[in-house]
Copies of this chain bind each other. A is one copy, B any other.
């Protein structure tokens, strides 16, 4: 970051002076993400020049990571040759990602610029739904036959490797293209040259299917320490591999997505400062209004019990404490289940096991919080009935909150929604309603009140 801030003014000055040699030296060794940061700080005409100065591979990577609207502006300014070179240089999965965000007309023009083989590969990837394993795989991998020797396989890697994104893992396939095993370049290098691939390969490798969610290969890579995850079609034929660099991006993206959803908002496609304030406002206001309108139910419950509230004003004092504690309890159990679902430890068949566990924990939490709440209430109001009412209301509310928090994410998962949205704001709003209902039912019994 700091380095970029230093380079920027010097580079801009060099470009103004048309000193291409010096400018070239300044950007030649930049890592792609640093070049991207630099370019984001420049105006369009400077960008076009810098793209010409960058190494081809760096230029392709930087371009891939630019926001789509800025890609489009640049494409209009690039020469046809420059565009073709840029697209040819990209890995097929990156190319699919870029083309996916651009208008259909532009894409059609661009596809004409690249070779038919590359075009076909890209079109195939674009056929898989966004967020699926098929969409982020590369169809360029190294495949070897089980009856090859280690020496033959190494020769093959040396011959074909330069065009492949990944050369450290070879995939062993049958004549019908079924995935039989994997073998690493490491194993090939250190095995006796005459040994058979089928003898040294890892058989029955971890794989995912083209239509699997992209989280599946990402979780598999973490669990099994893989450099790449092979992707097969429904007939178990190998059609691509996803490399670890794309999978770490998925992990980072999914982590952000979960966190944003837990806070009741949609994730951002750009970073915080790169997102316009108006966009931030829009992403947030819908959820806030929705939750606010849901809270009118709480208002309705309170209005319904207006007479009770007038009779025992002290009941109001413990509303924030009760609703807050119930919301916090539910948030905790929801997050436990959400994480369990995300890493695959909890599945829907475990519903009763989860309910049983959280019932036990809910009782324990309810008793502790109920007693403490009751004591606080007693000292506030100096009325033993407050101790009884608040204690019982807390116990029941906390127990309910704990179960609702655990069950709601599973219900959402079952209905095909992201369980993460149940946590935080959504669940606290629901718990406000259940806690108030419980509270007034208990208070009316203890204080012998009747509804309006």
Chain A interfacial positions (CB closer than 8 Å to B): 1, 29, 31-33, 157-158, 161-162, 167-168, 185-186, 189-190, 202-204, 206, 221-225, 227, 244-245, 247-249, 251-252, 255-256, 258-260, 262-265, 268, 271-273, 277, 280-281, 284-285, 287-289, 291-293, 295-296, 298-299, 302-303, 306, 309-310, 313-314, 316-321, 323-325, 327-329, 331-332, 334-340, 343-346, 350, 353, 357, 360-361, 364-365, 368-369, 372-373, 376, 380, 423-425, 428-429, 432, 436
* Chain copies in the assembled complex: 2
B298 x A320 contact (CB < 8 A):
yes
Main secondary structure of the interface of A (DSSP, over half): helix
Contact present for A292 and B227 (CB under 8 Å): no
With both beta carbons as reference points, the residue of chain B lying nearest to A381 in the complex is identified as: B303
By beta carbon, the residue of chain B nearest A292 is B325
* Nearest CB of chain B from residue A160's CB, rounded to whole Å: 11
State which of B302, B316, B365 has its C-beta within 8 Å of the C-beta of A285.
Answer: B365
Instruction: Tell me the bound Cα distance from A174 to B273 in angstroms.
Output: 40
- Whole-angstrom CA separation of A90 from B334 in the bound complex: 37
Shortest CB distance A423–B (Å): 7
Residues from chain B with a CB closer than 8 A to the CB of A339 are: 256, 259-260, 272
CA distance A331 to B335 in the complex (A): 15
Contact partners of A317 in chain B: CB under 8 A: 299, 302-303
Whether the pair A281, B361 counts as a contact (CB closer than 8 A) is yes
Write the nearest CB–CB distance from A242 to chain B, whole angstroms: 13
Report yes or no: A380 in contact with B168, Cβ–Cβ below 8 A: no
> What's the minimum C-beta distance from A91 to chain B, rounded to whole angstroms?
11
Interface contact B357-A277, CB-CB below 8 Å: yes
Contact of A365 among B31, B248, B288, B344 (CB under 8 A): B288
Instruction: List, in ascending order, chain B residues with CB within 8 A of A357's CB.
Output: 277, 280
**Given the complex of chains A and B, what is the CA–CA distance between A372 and B295 in angstroms?**
12
Residues of B near A432 (CB, < 8 A) are 320, 324
Complex Cα spacing A25 to B429, Å: 55
Indicate if the CB atoms of A331 and B264 lie closer than 8 Å.
Answer: yes
